[in-house]
Amino acid sequence: MISSKDKELEDLINKLQSTHIDPKEAIRLQIKASRYITESPLDTPPATVGGFDLSFPNNARAAAIVIESSTMETIEEILEDMPVTMPYIPGLLAFREAPVILRAYNSLKAKPDVIMIDGHGRAHPRRFGIACHVGLILRKPSIGVAKSLLIGNAEEPGDNKGDWNPITLGNEVLGAAVRTKPGAKPVYVSVGNLISLEQAVELVLKMTTKYRLPEPTRRAHMLASRYKNTR
C-alpha cells in the first residue's frame, strides 16, 4: 500500500530539490520536512564516511570525499560544478548548496554509509538544516558539522579532545559543541538524519586526527578550494 504520507514525503523530497524557490515557500517546506527526520541510533558502525564542502570560484563547486573509517584513507574524490541559483540566506543555506552536493554524491561510485556536511542539521531555526535536507533526500544517515552557531547556546567545552556540551534552546537539545582539538574553537555537531546525537559526536571524534575539523569535511574543503586560482 502507498499511504498518503508516503506521497507527501515524495512530494516534499522533490520540492526540496528546487533550484529556484521563494523564501516563504522554502520555509514552509522545511517545517513540513522536519517531521520526517529520524534520530534513532544507527545499528551498524559505518565502514565508510563521506564528506562534502563547497567553494565558489565562480559557480558553485562541490567536493565529495569518501573515507574508510578503519584506515582513514580516502578511497574516492569527486568535484562537480553547477551554476549558483540562490543567494545565501541564513536558514536557507540548503537551497543554495544542496543541488551541487547531490550531484557530487550521485557521481560517487562508493556510496558512503554516513555523510558529514559543512553546516548544521537539527541545530536550525526549523530543525532542518542542510544536513537534514540532504540526509532526507538521500534517505541516508547524515551529520551536520558547523564552525559556528546559527541558533541555540552552548557552554564552552573543556579543553581536552572529546569534551563536549549540549547546544540548547529552551528545553531542547539541538546538538553538541565538541572540542576536537585543544586550544581550537569547538565544532558544532548536530543530527542530520537516521543517527543519534551521541553517535554523531562519537563519529566526528573518531574521524578527527590532528586538526579541528574531522577528516571528511576537512579534506572535502581542501579539494573544493584547491584549484580556485587555477583551472
Report CA-CA distances (Å) from 192 to 120, 129, 175: 8, 7, 10
CB of 5 or CB of 228, closer to DNA? 228
Residue of the chain from 88, 139, 184, 198 that contacts DNA (CB under 7 A): 88
Nearer of residues 146 and 154 to DNA, judged by Cβ: 146
Is 228 a binding residue for DNA by CB under 7 A? The answer is: yes
93 binds DNA (CB under 7 A): yes
CB of residue 101 to DNA, shortest distance in Å: 11
- Taking CB under 7 A as the rule, does residue 37 contact DNA? no
- Considering only residues 3, 183, 210, 230, which one is a binding residue for DNA as defined by CB under 7 A? 183
Residue 64, CA atoms < 13 Å, CB-side half-sphere: 26
The answer to whether 157 contacts DNA (rule: CB under 7 A) is: no
Q: Is 185 one of the binding residues for DNA (CB under 7 A)?
A: no
Contacts of 108 (CB under 8 A, 6+ apart): 50, 64, 66, 76, 78
With CB under 7 A as the contact rule, the residue among 56, 72, 111, 196 that binds DNA is 56
Interface with DNA, residue 90, by CB under 7 A: yes
Contact between 50 and DNA per CB under 7 A: no
Question: Closest Cα partner for 182 from 208, 218, 201?
Answer: 208
Per CB under 7 A, contacts with DNA among 115-134 are: 118-120, 124, 129-131
Identify which range of 75-83, 86-94, 162-170, 200-208 contacts DNA by CB under 7 A: 86-94
Distance CA 212, CA 121 (A): 19
Nearer to DNA, 78 or 130 (CB): 130
Provide the grid cell at 38.
Answer: 529520524
- In whole angstroms, what separates CA 217 from the centre of its chain? 9
Q: Does 42 bind DNA (CB under 7 A)?
A: no
54 binds DNA (CB under 7 A): yes
Instruction: Check the annotation: does 118 bind a ligand.
Output: yes
Known binding-site residues equal: 53, 118
Contacting residues toward DNA, per CB under 7 A: 53-57, 88, 90-94, 118-120, 124, 129-131, 144, 146-150, 183, 221, 225, 228
